[in-house]
């Protein structure tokens, strides 16, 4: 049964009950990856292919006086040099962003962040293309940069976006949610009010594979094929049609194997457009592959919210209200990937898992001389920030009340009978049973024992901290009446075709970047049809071969596309039932479905398998009246709501009193994402997200100096956890299905990234309690922890 | 300049520039694209291959320096149509997701097991600490390498608690260290 080569391995947690379908199953993807036979964008080699390199701005803010490309053009291996001015002539110098702003493809008037694209070179090989960048001479006139988000709206601040008509400041947008007046009221009658300034610093998703593309324009039939690192190939195709004016049916976007995305590969980057332009102008395939520094300095960052969090409560620990004021740094162009009506994403879920009386948020977003982005790195559209805010401010309240943080949470949970629960900011939580999840996490961690150990250690002057975080996520964007990206509704298509011999192919609109869709979507279809997962191929990432949909991010694959896969399989099953009725010569209503076959009610011996039916559907002979030949279906699934998974995390840290170095000793994560399609894959998703959380809490930050130089632009400074900085993860689960999802499954991929940073920070702050520390900002590097221990906690930006 | 080296037991000769990095030589000139390029500062280790049996970051070795030496890449891990126990371990224990760090991780793991047949968890973490994975959080990579070690030692047993190793029957072909 266990084979690794050739056929995929199938094995299930409950072998007797689950011959096929949901359960632990090894991955169909792995056989190629462990042999080095994945196919990532930079593996694509085409005849005559040329290489593209991008010249980038060395400073954050400067006017372009002149660009001299003559020396680069004279390079013997250079085929093409393109500047912003040349693109402007073709109307391609600017492109729309996912937030209805515009972003420069190549700078024309001035540069607005360090690392911005200024010109590009296409040459015979990647080394020559880089050589030629050195031969381009750009004259800049320096301008003062806007770096500190808190000073961006000063009247004297230089205006970054003077490209926008009548723009006289750096204001990007305002946004609010909740009820300001009702929140005032509850704060007015609270026993305790706690306020804290909480910064979620700028970080970067930094997938191991950087962004890149290979554009191949065929001038004869006018077709563009674009291999690219995209999480949303269909949305990209539509945007290329709009940006480049190419007809959409002549554009084929192929997202092959992707070496991790983490939200970094949702937006369209100038490099992709440059490779398309390069291919259009040379008539040859053109490859662009950025290096790590380019990835860190110019592609979508994450977070960068400066928050004032306020919480109102009674003395005995009943939370009454939460209020927050946010200053959001969006960089030089608003490139945030979010549904159009949600400029702050789903930050509105900042009331968390608690049943409170009122809440209010006021946000101001600004431009600064930094790279665009904001929504990335498993944030579920800003829920990382929302959960960090609420879980940090609840801990600040526990500190003030001198109450155990787990106990405070337990007292305020939304109760199971309150679901579906409408939050004070209007989000309708689908289902949840929070206390058992919290209790399980405490039990796995040995919470009471940990607190006793901490007490003993404190008595000896040792610094041990226990951090608790309980989160509610909101994933699966989303209902098309509310949610769209640039006018494209956030529904997802799915097609299922069963071949005559009973093998099947299912085509998805979403795009895996390692989350295991080729395995789990086969399992979903298998669960519904009884066709073994090994007989089901999953096709994704090729816009010519797959139905339209919006791609993978926001943990939306299972909630939206997974629902589509289940429903399209049921549609096929419904047709199979009609064909079976003809084969069994009884009315369809007299037929029962058992996994993989239909049989006559009361006579299990009279049965036909799904494979028999597939052959009949394609074979000779009559089908029942009105039934077409073939066995296939398609669907476009419009979710009625998001799914709201939740989780309880407990982190244990030790802080060295001499060096202030934090060691994460243990981390217990209990997640509830409803029905679990493949527990092995969920566990892996959780482990990865927890590592993100430790990284963000302790190590990672994209910082800038006062001149706007990016200080985290390589892996020398942008520190990502290795195997030595993280513990062996301890996980558990509870199951509270989503009532509106066809198989009760919720998304989960981002839960751990969302839920873990507050657990780590809460643990570190808890360790520092003897020093009277109530809050310290990420990243909690030794120097920053040391400062906090000295009573000098400093905001990171 | 001309360079000749043995890659995965096969002698290859190519005309190259002196500045060409080994990672690009393998990928672009030999089409061995299992070896990846994930950073520009020698931190990530997605490019790890063996040079005369030693794991090296091939982004930090000139192709010319490998002239006259033996290189082994992920494509050379599988022997005689049989996956190396390390490769099997990564599959069995879900030690990979996007697969981008996997080739480098497995080359390091194989080299580790060749000199230390039963490494502790700490020794495994230390051995792979020059390599970054963004997907797995490392626990399952550690388990994968432990699985391979147990497989080679013939001591692998079914454990109820480790979901990663649950219900996996021992296969007959527990190959020896390459």
Condensed to tens digits (0 to 9), the pLDDT of residues A304-358 reads 999 999 999 999 999 999 999 999 999 999 999 899 999 999 999 999 999 999 9
Whether A715 and B44 lie within 8 Å, measured CB to CB: yes
The reply to whether omega before A538 is within 30° of 0 (cis) is no
Q: Do A726 and B137 touch (CB under 8 A)?
A: yes
Rounded CA-CA distance A6/B8 in Å is 22
Which residues, in sequence order, are CB contacts of A574 under 8 Å at separation 6+?
none
Report pLDDT digits (tens) over A171-226. 999 999 999 999 999 999 999 999 999 999 999 999 999 999 999 999 999 999 99
Interface of A with B in 655-714 (CB under 8 A): 679-681, 683-692, 714
Q: Are strands A50-56 and A102-104 parallel, antiparallel or unpaired?
A: unpaired
A608 - beta bridge partners? A598
pLDDT on residue A379: 97
- Per-residue pLDDT tens digits for A44-102: 999 999 999 999 999 999 999 999 999 999 999 999 999 999 999 999 999 999 898 99
- Cβ–Cβ gap A724/B126 under 8 Å: yes
Least CB–CB distance from A35: residue in B27, B78, B94:
B78
- Upstream peptide bond of A501 is cis (omega within 30 degrees of 0): no
* Nearest residue to A371 via CA among A552, A145, A692: A145
Which chain A positions have a beta carbon within 8 Å of B88's beta carbon? 4
**Does B97 sit within 8 Å of A728, measured CB to CB?**
no
The CA distances from residue A121 to A29, A108, A110, A117, A118, in Å, are 36, 16, 19, 11, 11
Which residue in the set B92, B103, B125 is minimally distant from A724, CB to CB? B125
Mean pLDDT to the nearest integer, B157-164: 46
Q: Which residues in chain B (133-162) have CB-CB distances under 8 A to chain A? A: 133-142
Q: How many helices (H) and strands (E) does chain A have?
A: 18, 33
Q: Helices A233-244 and A270-282, interaxial angle, to 10°? A: 60
Q: What is the per-residue DSSP string for A748-786?
A: -TTHHHHHHHHHHHHHHHHHTGGGT----PSP--HHHHH
pLDDT in tens, B12-23: 999 999 999 999
Shortest alpha-carbon distance between residue B24 and chain A (Å)? 10
pLDDT band at B158 (very low <50, low <70, confident <90, very high): low
Looking only at the bridges linking them, the beta strands covering A358-366 and A319-329 are parallel
Does the pLDDT value for residue B165 go beyond 50?
no
The pTM score is 0.95
Which candidate from A31, A515, A722 shows the least CB-CB separation from B132? A722
The whole-number average pLDDT for the span A638-648 is 98
> What CA–CA distances, in Å, run from A175 to A180, A209, A263?
13, 35, 23
Q: Which of A26, A689, A723 is closest, CB to CB, to B138? A: A723
Q: Encode pLDDT of A443-478 as tens digits.
A: 999 999 999 999 999 999 999 999 999 999 999 999
Q: Which residues of B touch A692 (CB under 8 A)?
A: 134
Task: Considering only the beta carbons, identify the residue of B38, B97, B103 that sits closest to A292.
Answer: B38
Instruction: For residues A319 and A398, give the distance between their C-alpha atoms in angstroms, rounded to a whole number.
Output: 11
Query: Is A42 close to B131, i.e. CB distance below 8 A?
Result: no
What is the CB neighbour count within 10 angstroms for residue A415? 12
**pLDDT (mean) for A771-796:** 96
Residue A756 with chain B: CB contacts under 8 Å: none
On the 0-12 / 13-18 / 19+ scale of CB atoms within 10 A, A481 is exposed
Chain B nearest CA to A68, separation (Å): 27
Chain B residues lying within 8 Å of A39, measured CB to CB: 33
| Closest chain B C-alpha to A125 CA, distance in angstroms | 10
ipTM, interface predicted TM-score of the complex:
0.96
**What is the nearest CA distance from B84 to chain A, expressed in angstroms?**
10
- Dihedral pair phi/psi, residue A561, rounded to 5°: -70, -35
Query: How near does any CA of chain B get to the CA of A181, in Å?
Result: 44
């Amino acid at each position: 049964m266990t084979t690794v080569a050739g056929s995929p391995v199938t094995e299930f947690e409950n072998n007797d009950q689950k011959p096929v379908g949901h359960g632990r199953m090894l991955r169909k993807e792995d056989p190629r990856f462990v042999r080095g036979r994945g196919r990532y964008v930079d593996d694509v080699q085409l005849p005559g292919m040329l290489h593209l390199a991008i010249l980038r701005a060395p400073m954050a803010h400067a006017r372009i006086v002149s660009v001299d490309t003559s020396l680069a053009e004279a390079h013997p291996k250079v085929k093409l040099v393109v500047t912003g001015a040349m693109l402007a002539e073709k109307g391609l110098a600017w492109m729309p962003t996912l937030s209805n702003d515009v972003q420069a493809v190549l700078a024309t008037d001035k540069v607005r962040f360090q690392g911005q694209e200024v010109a590009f070179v296409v040459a015979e090989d990647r080394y020559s293309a880089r050589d030629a960048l050195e031969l381009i001479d750009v004259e800049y006139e320096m301008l003062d940069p806007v770096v500190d988000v808190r000073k961006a709206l000063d009247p004297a601040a230089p205006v970054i976006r003077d490209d926008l008509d009548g723009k006289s400041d750096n204001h990007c947008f305002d946004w609010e949610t909740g009820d300001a007046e009702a929140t005032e009221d509850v704060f007015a009658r609270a026993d305790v009010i706690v306020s804290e300034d909480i910064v979620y610093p700028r970080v970067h998703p930094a997938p191991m594979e950087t962004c890149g593309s290979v554009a191949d324009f065929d001038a004869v039939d006018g077709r563009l094929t674009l291999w690219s690192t995209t999480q949303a190939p269909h949305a990209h195709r539509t945007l290329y049609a709009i940006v480049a004016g190419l007809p959409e049916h002549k554009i084929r976007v192929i997202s092959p194997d992707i070496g991790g995305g983490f939200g970094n590969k949702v937006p369209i980057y100038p490099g992709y457009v440059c490779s398309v332009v390069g291919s259009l102008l040379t008539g040859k395939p053109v490859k662009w592959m950025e290096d790590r520094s380019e990835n860190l300095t110019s592609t979508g960052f994450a977070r960068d919210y400066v928050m004032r969090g306020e919480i109102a409560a009674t003395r005995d620990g009943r939370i009454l209200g939460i209020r927050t004021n946010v200053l959001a740094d969006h960089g030089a162009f608003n490139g945030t990937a979010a549904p159009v009506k949600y400029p702050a994403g789903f930050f509105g879920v900042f009331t968390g898992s608690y049943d409170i009386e009122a809440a209010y948020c006021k946000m101001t977003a600004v431009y600064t001389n930094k790279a665009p982005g904001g929504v990335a790195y498993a944030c579920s559209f800003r829920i990382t920030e929302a959960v960090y805010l609420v879980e940090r401010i609840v801990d600040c309240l526990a500190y003030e009340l001198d109450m155990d943080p787990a106990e405070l949470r337990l007292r305020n949970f939304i109760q199971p009978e309150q679901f579906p629960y409408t939050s004070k900011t209007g989000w309708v939580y689908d289902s949840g049973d929070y206390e058992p999840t919290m209790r399980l996490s405490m039990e796995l961690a040995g919470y009471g024992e940990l607190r006793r150990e901490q007490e003993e250690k404190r008595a000896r002057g040792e610094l041990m901290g226990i951090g608790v975080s309980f989160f509610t996520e909101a994933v699966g964007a989303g209902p098309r009446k509310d949610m769209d990206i640039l006018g494209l509704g956030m529904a997802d298509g799915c097609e299922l075709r069963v071949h005559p011999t009973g093998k099947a192919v299912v085509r998805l609109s979403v795009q895996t970047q390692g989350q295991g869709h080729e395995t789990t979507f086969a399992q979903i279809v298998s669960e519904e049809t009884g066709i073994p997962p090994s007989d089901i191929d999953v096709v994704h990432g090729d816009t010519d071969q797959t139905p339209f949909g919006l791609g993978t991010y926001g943990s939306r694959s299972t909630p939206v596309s997974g629902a589509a896969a289940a429903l399209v399989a049921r549609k096929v099953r419904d047709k199979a039932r009609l064909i079976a009725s003809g084969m069994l010569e009884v009315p369809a209503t007299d037929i029962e479905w058992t996994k993989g076959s239909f049989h006559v009610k009361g006579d299990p011996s009279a049965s036909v398998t799904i494979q028999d039916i597939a052959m009949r559907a394609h074979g000779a002979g009559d089908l029942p009246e009105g039934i077409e030949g073939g066995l296939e279906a398609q669907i476009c699934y419009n979710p009625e709501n998001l799914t709201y998974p939740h989780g309880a995390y407990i982190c244990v840290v030790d802080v060295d009193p001499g060096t202030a170095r934090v060691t994460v000793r243990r981390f217990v994560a209990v997640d509830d994402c409803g029905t679990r399609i493949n527990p092995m894959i969920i566990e892996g998703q959780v482990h990865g997200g927890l590592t993100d959380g430790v990284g963000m809490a302790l190590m990672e930050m994209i910082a800038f100096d006062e001149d706007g130089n990016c200080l985290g632009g390589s892996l020398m400074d942008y520190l990502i956890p290795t195997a030595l900085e993280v513990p062996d993860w301890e996980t558990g689960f509870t199951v509270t299905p989503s009532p509106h999802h066809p198989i009760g499954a919720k998304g989960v991929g981002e839960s751990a990234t969302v839920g873990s940073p507050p657990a780590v920070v809460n643990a570190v702050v808890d360790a520092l309690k003897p020093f009277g520390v109530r809050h310290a900002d990420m990243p909690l590097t030794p120097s920053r922890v040391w400062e906090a221990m000295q009573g000098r906690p400093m905001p990171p930006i | 300049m001309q360079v000749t080296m043995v890659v995965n037991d096969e002698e290859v000769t190519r005309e190259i520039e002196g500045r060409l990095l080994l990672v690009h030589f393998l990928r672009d000139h030999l089409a061995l694209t299992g070896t990846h390029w994930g950073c520009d500062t020698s931190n990530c280790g997605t490019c790890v291959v063996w040079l005369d049996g030693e794991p090296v970051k091939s982004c930090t070795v000139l192709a010319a320096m490998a002239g006259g030496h033996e290189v082994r890449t992920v494509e050379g891990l599988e022997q005689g149509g049989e996956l190396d126990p390390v490769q099997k371990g990564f599959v069995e224990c879900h030690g990979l997701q996007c697969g981008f760090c996997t080739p480098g991780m497995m080359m390091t793991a194989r080299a580790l097991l060749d000199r230390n047949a039963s490494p502790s968890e700490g020794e495994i973490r230390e051995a792979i600490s020059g390599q970054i994975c963004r997907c797995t959080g490392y626990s399952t990579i550690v388990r994968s390498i432990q699985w391979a070690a147990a497989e080679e030692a013939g001591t692998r047993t079914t454990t109820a608690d480790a979901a990663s190793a649950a219900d996996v029957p021992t296969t007959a072909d527990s190959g020896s260290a390459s």
